[in-house]
A and B are shown apart, each in its own frame.
Chain A
Amino acid sequence: MNRPIASGAGRAFLPPDAPARPAKEFVVAVIGNPNTGKTTLFNALTGLTQHTGNYPGVTVESALGEFRVGQHRFHAVDLPGSYSLAPRAPDEMVAVRVLLGRGIGIVKPDVVLCVLDASHLDRNLYLLTQVLELGLPVVVALTMMDLAQRDGIVIDTDAIEQKLGVPVVAVHSTRRTGFDRLRQMLLRAAQERRAPRRHVGFPPGFDREVDSLQQLFPQNGQSPVPRFLVERLLADAGGFVEDELSQEHGESVRAAAVAARARLASAGTPVPQVEVDARYRWIGGVVDDHVRRSQRTDVSWTDRIDAVVTHKLWGTVVFLVAMAVTFQAIFAWAAPVMDLIDGAVQQVATWIGALMSEGPLRSMVLDGVIGGAGAVLVFVPQIAVLFALITVLEDSGYMARAAFLMDRIMSGFGLSGRSFIPLLSSFACAVPGIMSARAIENRRDRLVTILIAPLMSCSARLPVYVLFISAFVPAYAVGGVIGLQGLTLFGLYMIGLIVAPLVALVLKRTALRGPAVPFLLELPPYKIPSWRVVFFRMYDRSWAFIRRAGTIILATAILIWALSYYPRSADLTAKYETLKAQAPAAEVSRLEAEEAGEQLRGSYLGQMGQAVEPIVKPLGWDWKIGMAAIASFPAREVVIAALGTIYNLGSGESETSSELRDVMRAQRWPDGRPVYTPAVALSVMVFFALCCQCAATLATMKRETGSWRYPAITFVYMTTLAYVAAFVVYQLGSRMFGA
């Protein structure tokens, strides 16, 4: 009978009521460190039969697949890449649950396939020593043999097989070599069901404490606690096993584990050091006896490049130059397409203006839809260039080096290096950034990361920056090399990178105090980026931006238009009709603009704006900028749509909608001073760099933390920070550049 091992996302590994498997069917769990070629091997084994499964207990997606060995069918599950079986993150706990067959619907595997990277054998053996203690048959697959050979590493696989007591098979996934033997070994191991022997011994004191803790759990209940879990309970202070067993069997379990750890520490064998020492001592013996390393005469290109890009000083210089060039390219490469789109949007406005008769619908289409949401579309080329360049940096392998550099800085602020990856994602959008913080095992670090992720300059801020920079920052090259516009953009992105660690430092020293957790980061070899990957990422992000312009931005622009258009004063209209009838032709357009300005001031938005003007005036803003900033709460890009709508309505010339940049430059205070000075432009940009005007981010925070408390704290602290910074920038800027 062919039954699915899992039937799609959200289903259990096997249905709880499933009958026993026929003898010819086996379950193999594939485990290994990240970047060992585990998934490539899994795909090579299962061919096209794999699909994505979702484990009970936590949303960690893993591939499930099938393959045959003769008459026997293997159901394979690709577990998340993991450096050890000491579960500190949800995905690592899933691996442990599956391997132990713990949890409703999870079937214990018949055999474990442990994938080891031959070029980093010592580190990979750490996980294997733990897997060998599970009591399950194990087969080892050695991958990356060619890389090991290139690096002058010679592994005596036969001798290692003897030493480990389990089959060791060297495989090459792309050339498909070693697979026949691997399948045969898996079949034999699954049929013989022989548990491997344990290799790593711990001090007697540790074993005694494990024995004593084991007494806390009933051994013949529905879900007995295996010795492996009790060892993890003792060795992993504050880990997932401690939490789970304490929840299941009472807080006395935690107290007993804490007391046992204290006794071990006072006996000079503290955890986790005792485990790490014991395992690496054994691994050192295996590697010394069976792995030969010839003196390498050549240094790889990756090593040569890394010597510079991961260097404390030169690495930082390379990082700053790479970022500055990226931001300058955003202006230089996107400008021609941006002008084309701008021209097209204005052309459409002219056509529609000519077709429709005067009235509220015409105003809504021209001032709200085209002048507002249409103004946002102009920035699609910038988004495309930004993501193309970010993808090139990621795919080439450079971003991992940037993470390495940043980790060094972040750990100085008490922040886990693991936080860098969610923060890096937040440069695209804070929503996936906050979601990827799930992989951070430490609760406090996870919360700190979630709270600071929105400080990273997401792609929604880019259009705001570009609008103000292109309107108010001159396009000349500093020192004849790097453009001032690109440098300003770079500076704005750096604000988040500088402020986020400072906020983290405050949080880690106050409400979320806790030690920094070490971070293991693998640096992949450099490669030429795949243009296919670059194109699809660029397309995907640009399309997402266009969709936002057509949905939430469009809807908000229509609401802003309505609030700026109504109520219409009939008295004002009548007054200006009379004035225009009596005035000479040259005066009519001035009177029209005056009428539009008065109507706007009398609108709902105008009334609200004048009420908030005293609050935004210290930032150098008029009420229109203030209202646009407030209206951008659903999404930051809305500020552009709001300014476009407000200025179009206020000019009274909607049928000749001109470029937003020019309209902004033409804005004047009642005394004739320009509204926008360089100091005001900087103040607005700094406000948007630090504020939390994004409903989706706050909603995601609520979902991830399970409480409105954290989004509320984030909104209040970021808005306060943004206001104070904008105030300081305006006050300093107006003294430097003139008010």
Chain B
Amino acid sequence: MPIDLQTLVVGVAVAAAAVYVARSYWPRKKATPGCTSCPANPNRRDDYA
């Protein structure tokens, strides 16, 4: 069965929305070079918490 244009556009929009929402749960980490205690640094060594 051929997909009509409206369904195709809806499919793309829903997929894009799903990707956007999913990505919001895994925020990108931006490590600061030289910052050993910065919370954004995955290799931090301090006692922040």
Residues of A within 8 A of B (CB): 9-12, 54, 56-59, 90, 105, 243, 359-362, 364, 435, 438, 443, 446-447, 450, 551-552, 554-556, 558-559, 562, 634, 695-696, 699, 703-707, 710
Is the Cβ of A558 less than 8 Å from the Cβ of B14?
yes
Closest residue of B by beta carbon distance from A638: B21
Is the Cβ of A695 less than 8 Å from the Cβ of B6?
no
Is the Cβ of B35 less than 8 Å from the Cβ of A559?
no
Closest residue of A by beta carbon distance from B26: A699
Most buried by B among A10, A362, A554: A10
List B7-46 residues whose CB lies under 8 Å from chain A: 7, 9-10, 13-14, 16-18, 20-21, 24-27, 29, 32-40, 44, 46
Is the Cβ of B21 less than 8 Å from the Cβ of A552?
yes
What separation, in Å, do the CA atoms of A562 and B14 have in the docked complex? 7
What separation, in Å, do the CA atoms of A19 and B13 have in the docked complex? 57
Which residues of chain B come closer than 8 Å to A9, judged between CB atoms?
32
Is the Cβ of B17 less than 8 Å from the Cβ of A558?
yes
Which residues of chain A come closer than 8 Å to B38, judged between CB atoms?
58-59
What separation, in Å, do the CA atoms of A258 and B41 have in the docked complex? 32
What separation, in Å, do the CA atoms of A556 and B25 have in the docked complex? 12
Is the Cβ of A699 less than 8 Å from the Cβ of B25?
yes
Most buried by B among A362, A559, A634: A559
Task: Choose from B14, B35, B39 the contact partner of A54 (Cβ within 8 Å).
Answer: B35
Which residues of chain B come closer than 8 Å to A362, judged between CB atoms?
6
Interface size class of B (residues with CB under 8 A): 20 to 34
Q: With A54-B35, A105-B34, A360-B7 known to touch, is A704 a contact of B47 (CB < 8 Å)?
A: no
Which residues of chain B come closer than 8 Å to A435, judged between CB atoms?
39
Is the Cβ of A559 less than 8 Å from the Cβ of B49?
no
Is the Cβ of B35 less than 8 Å from the Cβ of A710?
no
Is the Cβ of A12 less than 8 Å from the Cβ of B25?
no
Residues of B within 8 A of A (CB): 4-7, 9-10, 13-14, 16-18, 20-21, 24-27, 29, 32-40, 44, 46-49
* 25 interchain pairs, CB-CB under 8 A: A11-B33, A57-B37, A58-B46, A59-B32, A59-B39, A90-B46, A90-B48, A105-B34, A360-B7, A361-B9, A361-B10, A443-B47, A446-B49, A552-B21, A554-B17, A555-B17, A555-B18, A558-B17, A559-B17, A562-B10, A634-B24, A699-B25, A704-B49, A705-B48, A706-B39
Is the Cβ of A707 less than 8 Å from the Cβ of B49?
yes
A406 to chain B, nearest CB (A): 24
Task: Choose from B4, B10, B20, B35 the contact partner of A10 (Cβ within 8 Å).
Answer: B35
Which residues of chain B come closer than 8 Å to A554, judged between CB atoms?
17
Which residues of chain B come closer than 8 Å to A54, judged between CB atoms?
32, 34-35
B2 to chain A, nearest CB (A): 14
What separation, in Å, do the CA atoms of A707 and B49 have in the docked complex? 9
Q: With A105-B34, A446-B49 given, can you name 11 additional A-B contacts, CB distance below 8 Å?
A: A54-B35, A57-B36, A59-B35, A243-B47, A361-B5, A364-B10, A555-B18, A558-B14, A558-B17, A562-B14, A695-B25
What separation, in Å, do the CA atoms of A171 and B18 have in the docked complex? 60
Task: Choose from B5, B16, B39 the contact partner of A704 (Cβ within 8 Å).
Answer: B39
What separation, in Å, do the CA atoms of A695 and B32 have in the docked complex? 23
Q: With A243-B47, A360-B7 known to touch, is A703 a contact of B35 (CB < 8 Å)?
A: no
What separation, in Å, do the CA atoms of A651 and B13 have in the docked complex? 23
Task: Choose from B10, B24, B39 the contact partner of A438 (Cβ within 8 Å).
Answer: B39
What separation, in Å, do the CA atoms of A90 and B34 have in the docked complex? 15
Which residues of chain B come closer than 8 Å to A634, judged between CB atoms?
21, 24-25
Most buried by A among B17, B20, B27, B47: B17
Is the Cβ of A56 less than 8 Å from the Cβ of B20?
no
Is the Cβ of B34 less than 8 Å from the Cβ of A552?
no
A53 to chain B, nearest CB (A): 11
A663 to chain B, nearest CB (A): 23
Is the Cβ of B49 less than 8 Å from the Cβ of A710?
yes
What separation, in Å, do the CA atoms of A517 and B6 have in the docked complex? 62
B18 to chain A, nearest CB (A): 6
Which residues of chain B come closer than 8 Å to A695, judged between CB atoms?
24-25
Is the Cβ of B49 less than 8 Å from the Cβ of A706?
yes
Is the Cβ of A90 less than 8 Å from the Cβ of B37?
yes
Most buried by A among B4, B16, B34, B44: B34
Is the Cβ of A551 less than 8 Å from the Cβ of B20?
yes
A560 to chain B, nearest CB (A): 10
Is the Cβ of A555 less than 8 Å from the Cβ of B21?
yes
What separation, in Å, do the CA atoms of A554 and B5 have in the docked complex? 21
Which residues of chain A come closer than 8 Å to B49, judged between CB atoms?
443, 446-447, 450, 704-707, 710
Is the Cβ of A359 less than 8 Å from the Cβ of B36?
no
Closest residue of A by beta carbon distance from B40: A703
Is the Cβ of B32 less than 8 Å from the Cβ of A10?
yes
Which residues of chain B come closer than 8 Å to A703, judged between CB atoms?
27, 29, 39-40
What separation, in Å, do the CA atoms of A105 and B35 have in the docked complex? 12
Which residues of chain B come closer than 8 Å to A699, judged between CB atoms?
25-27
Task: Choose from A11, A360, A556 the contact partner of B6 (Cβ within 8 Å).
Answer: A360
A565 to chain B, nearest CB (A): 9
Is the Cβ of A555 less than 8 Å from the Cβ of B32?
no
Which residues of chain B come closer than 8 Å to A450, judged between CB atoms?
49
What separation, in Å, do the CA atoms of A59 and B40 have in the docked complex? 10
What are the 5 closest A-B residue pairs judged by CB atoms, nearest first? Answer: A361-B6, A705-B49, A558-B17, A555-B17, A359-B6
Is the Cβ of A56 less than 8 Å from the Cβ of B35?
yes
What separation, in Å, do the CA atoms of A731 and B22 have in the docked complex? 37
B23 to chain A, nearest CB (A): 10
Which residues of chain A come closer than 8 Å to B16, judged between CB atoms?
555
What separation, in Å, do the CA atoms of A361 and B29 have in the docked complex? 36
Task: Choose from A11, A90, A559, A707 the contact partner of B18 (Cβ within 8 Å).
Answer: A559
Which residues of chain B come closer than 8 Å to A562, judged between CB atoms?
10, 14, 17
Q: With A361-B6, A696-B24 known to touch, is A559 a contact of B36 (CB < 8 Å)?
A: no
B32 to chain A, nearest CB (A): 4
Is the Cβ of A556 less than 8 Å from the Cβ of B21?
yes
What separation, in Å, do the CA atoms of A733 and B27 have in the docked complex? 40
Closest residue of A by beta carbon distance from B47: A243
What separation, in Å, do the CA atoms of A450 and B9 have in the docked complex? 42
Task: Choose from B10, B20, B37, B39 the contact partner of A555 (Cβ within 8 Å).
Answer: B20
Is the Cβ of B13 less than 8 Å from the Cβ of A364?
yes
What separation, in Å, do the CA atoms of A695 and B5 have in the docked complex? 34
What separation, in Å, do the CA atoms of A450 and B39 have in the docked complex? 14
Task: Choose from A364, A558, A704 the contact partner of B48 (Cβ within 8 Å).
Answer: A704
B16 to chain A, nearest CB (A): 8
What separation, in Å, do the CA atoms of A105 and B10 have in the docked complex? 55
Is the Cβ of B25 less than 8 Å from the Cβ of A10?
no
Closest residue of B by beta carbon distance from A105: B34
Closest residue of B by beta carbon distance from A558: B17
What separation, in Å, do the CA atoms of A559 and B17 have in the docked complex? 7
